[in-house]
Structure 1
Amino acid sequence: MRLTALPAFADNYIWALVADDGRAVVIDPGQAAPVLAAAAQQGWVPNSILLTHHHDDHIGGVAELQAHFPAVEVYAPVEPRIAIPAHRVGEGEHVQALGLGFHVVSVPGHTRSHIAFHTAEHLFSGDSLFSLGCGRMFEGTPPQLLASLRKLASLPAQLMVCCAHEYTLSNAVFARHVDPTNAALSQRHEEALAMRRDDLPTLPVSLASELECNPFLRTNTPAVQAAVSAHLGRPVTDEVDVVAGLRHWKDGFRT
């Protein structure tokens, strides 16, 4: 099974897992054109489409792909704002595609109905988790965001995180501001800079690396808690307070 990242828009990635026989699982196709071009050039056919949430940069290409590939199966969260014929899936359910089991995890925070999918090797996190960051909290609450991040952090550390945006460098600047003495984070930042200089994606990245480097997955550590306390000008009360302060800080952060 071959993993492919298809660039879309300014900084999105549409992920595809392609089997040896050319059938593919496509995740969050916000645009049809990159998928159609790759399918034509490489001779593969979308078999299934997985959607993590309702934002148009994740679902905007589905209708056109359904028109080109009428047999494609679509799996989406229980969300009326996704007005596309689809199998609706939620927490604890499984999607079978190309002989793989995709486990469904409910991760509200960025949106209230956001889900993620993971196999034994890959985590397709949409906008719930980015490398060195997480999605803006548009609809969820800080307790929901913390619970979702904890849920993702508890998955097997060897999973390769396939998130939907190339935000690693901007996230790294903020993360190092929060956690400046983190050697693993410094190394990840340097590696990501080299990747982008060579026009390579910084993804996927192991969940193990994110657990070492991503401040949003490290809200229980003294260094992150102290940084958020200093930013707020008061002691933090618990991890919900930490993640809320961290997310608000990141939303207004400028380099």
Structure 2
Amino acid sequence: MVQVKAIKAFSDNYIWCLTTHNSNQAWVVDPGDARPVITHLAEHNLSLAGILITHHHSDHTGGVADLVKQFANIPVYGPANSPFDGITHTLIDGDNIEVLNVPFNIVATPGHTLDHICYTHDELAFTGDTLFSGGCGRLFEGTSEQMWNSFNKLRELPKSCKVYCTHEYTQANLAFAKAVEPRNPELLEYSKKVDELRSTDEITLPSTINQELKINPFMRSDLPTITELLPKEFLLVTKNNEPWENFASLRKFKDNF
């Protein structure tokens, strides 16, 4: 199986670097900045073989041009409907690609943006800004119903599947989660662990699908009680307790948290 390491970028981004123990080839996911990638590759005697993009936002794509310039003819995989023009190999929902001999299934996950995709395998998934540990991305382009449908696709992954998202938002997400479910024992225990990790500036990722099903309120939008403690001003007026409506109420609360 591939080895995955985090390359830190900006204030809270992770550019994921995929390698194997018997090769000097590397792939990176969502390189918003080329400089830390180039430094990491040089330090570990690696050559860049390809790039995976989840969506068009510049903190995920800003380093692509410089990396392609330095490592000529490398493929850049990304969503077919993306406004980002640096993609050389376009992908749609249901496509399959192979990276370092590992097959990945492409899952369209609109919500945060309309072009968002995730790269999934039974053992690990690169979820960009769709699924965070304890949270989800803001809905800049899509709807709550779209995002819930996207979450449902990720909820179908094996529970042991490791979740590699692109931001270190876990601690802040869990503060919100505890406001939603203050008596969730798994959440409270996980929050303590995350606080300990962040106190020494350690990474909180990857999470797992199983972990998120226990502690992430957005992943738990199908629970009828998930919005019972939300302030009334954040509940949908015409609410029929549909999971996507619960999701919408949670997202509105989080946007104002």
Normalising to structure 1: TM-score of the pair?
0.95
Verify: 1:245 aligned to 2:246, yes or no: no
* Matched-pair contact (CA < 8 Å) for 1:178–1:227: yes
User: Could you tell me how far 1:85 is from its partner in structure 2?
Assistant: 4.1
* Matched-pair contact (CA < 8 Å) for 1:53–1:115: yes
Following superposition of structure 1 onto structure 2, how do residues 210-225 of structure 1 map, counting pairs within 5 Å?
A: 210-225=212-227
Q: Which letter maps to 1:211?
A: L
| Whole-angstrom CA distance in 2 between matches of 1:80 and 1:11 | 24
Following superposition of structure 1 onto structure 2, how do residues 1-255 of structure 1 map, counting pairs within 5 Å?
A: 1-20=2-21, 21-228=23-230, 230=232, 232=234, 236-237=239-240, 238-253=242-257
* Matched-pair contact (CA < 8 Å) for 1:229–1:235: no
| Whole-angstrom CA distance in 2 between matches of 1:212 and 1:147 | 19
User: Could you tell me how far 1:216 is from its partner in structure 2?
Assistant: 0.1
SS of equivalent to 2:227: helix
RMSD: 1.5
SS of equivalent to 2:84: coil
| Whole-angstrom CA distance in 2 between matches of 1:219 and 1:120 | 23
Cα displacement string for residues 120-158 of structure 1 (whole angstroms, at most 9, x for unaligned residues): 321100000100000000000111011001111111111
Following superposition, which runs of at least 4 residues in structure 1 exceed 3 angstroms of deviation?
A: 228-236
User: Could you tell me how far 1:207 is from its partner in structure 2?
Assistant: 1.1
Q: Which letter maps to 1:150?
A: N
User: Could you tell me how far 1:79 is from its partner in structure 2?
Assistant: 2.9
User: Could you tell me how far 1:211 is from its partner in structure 2?
Assistant: 0.6
Q: Would you say how many aligned residue pairs link Structure 1 and Structure 2?
A: 253
| Whole-angstrom CA distance in 1 between matches of 2:198 and 2:158 | 27
Higher helix share: 1
The 1:182/1:80 distance shift into structure 2, 3 A limit, reads closer
SS of equivalent to 1:155: coil
* Matched-pair contact (CA < 8 Å) for 1:19–1:98: yes
SS of equivalent to 2:32: coil
The 1:202/1:186 distance shift into structure 2, 3 A limit, reads same
Cα displacement string for residues 50-94 of structure 1 (whole angstroms, at most 9, x for unaligned residues): 000000000000010001111321101013421114100010101
Normalising to structure 2: TM-score of the pair?
0.94
User: Could you tell me how far 1:188 is from its partner in structure 2?
Assistant: 1.0
* Matched-pair contact (CA < 8 Å) for 1:75–1:86: yes
- Same amino acid, percent of matched pairs: 39
User: Could you tell me how far 1:6 is from its partner in structure 2?
Assistant: 0.7
SS of equivalent to 2:228: helix
* Matched-pair contact (CA < 8 Å) for 1:179–1:223: no
Cα displacement string for residues 20-63 of structure 1 (whole angstroms, at most 9, x for unaligned residues): 21111210000001110000000111111100000000000001
Show structure 2 runs of 5+ residues with no match.
none
Show structure 1 runs of 5+ residues with no match.
none
* Matched-pair contact (CA < 8 Å) for 2:151–2:219: yes
SS of equivalent to 2:194: helix
SS of equivalent to 1:63: helix
| Whole-angstrom CA distance in 2 between matches of 1:124 and 1:215 | 20
| Whole-angstrom CA distance in 1 between matches of 2:222 and 2:65 | 42
SS of equivalent to 1:225: coil
